[in-house]
């Protein structure tokens, strides 16, 4: 079985190599590739024999990060089953809707979500088997660890599995309606691993993963590629800046991936000054442009260099990479396409645009997802006749083939007939030394249709007035781009992946995005 049984294959090569450290446990629990493979085999046996899970069946998880998440992912791979990762930030009714949509046979959940799972069990008939991690669980729920202990230990493989079979579903969506479930095939995982190794990974690499594992950033950016390569992944239960700095030092991590807000939080942690990050070859930032001041602070105070990355649930997620030597000179760029990714900018008529012009970013290559689960209309709408995936991102490319995300189509607003891109304004606001965090959104306006509103968090010990910030923005940008409204806040709403939830700022519902 050359596809799907990732741990079975890796355990042949490096059985005694440290694979995973679950730093969410007290004390930390460590697992070699042999031990991790044994756990996956035990769980796969129970899923098959105890729950009737086979090829193509779904297994859902509503849980914080931990070794159990990887147990389920790799057990599903052995069976040809499909992991469905649930966003634990959702209301239980939303989770129930997604379960009804994907019809998993089994739900595995953390004790923290026991009350929500109880509600789901009362209102939904779709789940046949329940497994709880920690605690007592709901009625008729089995203990995850007891299942692991009691299950037979024998290899499990599914010989007719192919690269086009689906490994997991990752939810992605917009501001209205249910999130769509991107189908992540084994082919997509394989090609993304190759792209990631070409551009980022080396044998012996160690990473600390702080993204939630229901998110493409947690499961597919570095975790799965590095475990295929034979490296070490340290899992945190949730992001905690002080803990992350301690783990990077304790386990001599060589690479780390986050988003700008998480890096900002790290610089404010009480152990920032003393943290030894000298083993890091680089850090990767994605989700939004990384402020130059933050790049320079990490380089100056910790000797750490940055790579900018870009990806999404439906593609990659390793799509673009900006080398550390370009981090300042090409600040704001997502870099160049990864080796086996084709990218271009197109106009409203799907015609390629030359360098310097803004259009939609479209992508083509073997690390594309296989459409959306049970949603053929959305699947076909996302692809054009040439096989390009339409990202919904507005971007431009320069003469050196460096790409720049201008904004999301949905985030752009029109004021007095002019297209306004919030990301451009946010980059300018971040240049002000008193600004720690910001977000710009479009809000309704009777005269102009829409105008900008900036939400700003001021650095501790600093002072900033609306007028001073407006003057700063006006110094860099045209007057019509200066936000009409500025609101100072103590904090901004942050997603589980560390991104600022813009729609939450203006009272709208927002799903998590890749």
Class of domain 239-408: alpha beta
Q: What is the pLDDT of residue 513?
A: 38
Cα angle: 349, vertex 355, 359; to 5 degrees: 35
| pLDDT band (50, 70, 90) for residue 156 | very high
How confident is the prediction for the chain on average, in pLDDT?
A: 92
| CA dist., res. 491 & res. 121, Å (int) | 35
pLDDT at 155 over 50: yes
Dist. CA 49–CA 39, nearest whole Å: 15
Give how far Cα 8 sits from Cα of 85, 169, 183, 459, 513, Å: 22, 22, 23, 49, 32
**pLDDT of 22 over the 60 cut:** yes
Q: What is the pLDDT of residues 77-130, one digit of tens each?
A: 999 999 999 999 888 988 999 999 999 999 999 999 999 999 999 999 999 999
pLDDT of residue 1: 67
Give the C-alpha separation, 38 to 288, whole Å: 39
- State pTM to two decimals: 0.85
Write the pLDDT tens digit of every residue in 162-205: 999 999 999 986 434 578 999 999 999 999 999 999 999 999 99
Looking at the chain, the domain(s) classified CATH 3.30.300.30 span 413-505
Question: Residue 432, CB half-sphere, CA atoms under 13 Å: how many?
Answer: 28
Mean pLDDT of all residues in 359-365: 96
Q: What is the DSSP string of 307-369?
A: EEEEEETTEEEEEEEE-GGGTTTTTTEEEEE-TT-EEEEE-TTS-B--TT--EEEEEESTTB-
Point out which residues pair with 485 in neighbouring strands.
Answer: 453
pLDDT at position 177 is 59
pLDDT at 514: 39
**Residues 400-413 pLDDT 10s:** 999 998 877 678 78
472, pLDDT greater than 90: yes
Does domain 29-183 bear CATH number 3.40.50.12780? Answer: yes
Return the minimum-mean-pLDDT range out of 87-101, 464-478, 484-498, 499-513: 499-513
CATH 3.40.50.12780 in the chain is located at: 29-183, 239-408
Q: What is the mean pLDDT of residues 219-237?
A: 97
The mean pLDDT of 28-35, rounded to a whole number, is 98
Do 431 and 471 form a contact (C-beta atoms < 8 A)?
no
Q: Above 80 in pLDDT, residue 492?
A: yes
Q: Dmax over Cα atoms in the chain, in whole Å?
A: 70
CA dist 19 and 219 (Å) reads: 14
Confidence class for position 509, pLDDT limits 50, 70, 90 = very low
* Matching CATH number, 413-505, of 3.40.50.2300, 3.30.300.30, 3.40.50.1820, 2.40.50.140: 3.30.300.30
Cα(291)–Cα(310) distance, rounded to whole angstroms? 15
């Amino acid at each position: 079985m050359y596809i799907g049984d990732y741990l079975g294959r890796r355990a042949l090569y490096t059985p005694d190599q440290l694979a995973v450290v679950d730093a969410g446990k007290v004390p930390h629990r460590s697992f070699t590739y042999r031990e991790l493979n044994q756990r996956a085999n035990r769980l796969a046996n129970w899923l098959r024999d105890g729950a009737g899970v086979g090829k193509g069946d779904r297994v859902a998880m509503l849980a914080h990060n931990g070794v159990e998440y990887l147990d389920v992912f790799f057990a599903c791979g052995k069976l040809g089953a499909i992991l469905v990762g649930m966003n634990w930030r959702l209301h239980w009714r939303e989770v129930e809707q997604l379960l009804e949509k994907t019809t998993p046979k089994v739900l595995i959940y953390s004790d923290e979500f026991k009350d929500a799972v109880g509600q789901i069990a009362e209102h939904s008939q779709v789940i046949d088997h329940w497994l709880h991690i920690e605690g007592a669980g709901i009625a008729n729920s089995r203990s995850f660890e007891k299942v692991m202990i009691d299950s037979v230990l024998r290899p499990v493989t599914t010989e007719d599995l192919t690269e086009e079979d689906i490994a997991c579903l990752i939810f992605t969506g917009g501001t209205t309606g249910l999130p769509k479930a991107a189908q992540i095939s084994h082919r997509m995982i394989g090609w993304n691993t190759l792209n990631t190794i070409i551009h980022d990974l080396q044998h012996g690499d160690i990473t600390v993963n702080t993204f939630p594992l229901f998110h493409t950033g947690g499961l597919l950016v570095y975790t799965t590629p590095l475990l295929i390569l034979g490296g070490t992944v340290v899992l945190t239960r949730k992001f905690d800046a002080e803990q992350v700095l301690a783990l990077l030092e304790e386990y001599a991590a060589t690479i780390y991936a986050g988003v700008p807000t998480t890096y900002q939080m790290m610089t404010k942690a009480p152990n920032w000054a003393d943290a030894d990050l000298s083993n890091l070859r680089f850090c990767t930032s994605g989700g939004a442009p990384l402020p130059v001041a933050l790049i320079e602070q990490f380089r100056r105070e910790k000797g750490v260099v940055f790579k900018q990355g870009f990806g999404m649930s439906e593609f990659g997620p390793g799509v673009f990479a900006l080398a550390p030597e370009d981090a300042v000179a090409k600040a704001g760029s997502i870099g160049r396409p990864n080796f086996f990714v084709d990218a271009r900018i197109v106009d409203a008529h799907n015609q390629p645009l030359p360098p310097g012009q803004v259009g939609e970013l479209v992508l083509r290559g073997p690390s594309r997802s296989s459409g959306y689960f049970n949603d053929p209309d959305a699947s076909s709408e996302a692809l054009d006749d040439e096989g390009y995936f339409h990202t919904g991102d507005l971007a431009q490319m320069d003469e050196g083939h460096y790409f720049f995300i201008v904004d999301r189509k949905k985030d752009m607003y029109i004021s007095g007939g002019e297209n306004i891109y919030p990301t451009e304004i946010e980059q300018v606001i971040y240049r002000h030394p008193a600004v720690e965090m910001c977000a710009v959104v479009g809000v309704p306006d009777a005269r102009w249709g829409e105008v900008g509103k900036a939400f700003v968090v001021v650095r501790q010990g600093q002072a900033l007035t609306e007028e001073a910030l407006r003057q700063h923005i006006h110094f860099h940008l045209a007057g019509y781009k200066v936000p009409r409204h500025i609101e100072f806040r103590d904090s901004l709403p942050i997603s589980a992946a560390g991104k600022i939830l813009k729609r939450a700022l203006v009272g709208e519902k927002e799903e998590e995005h890749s």
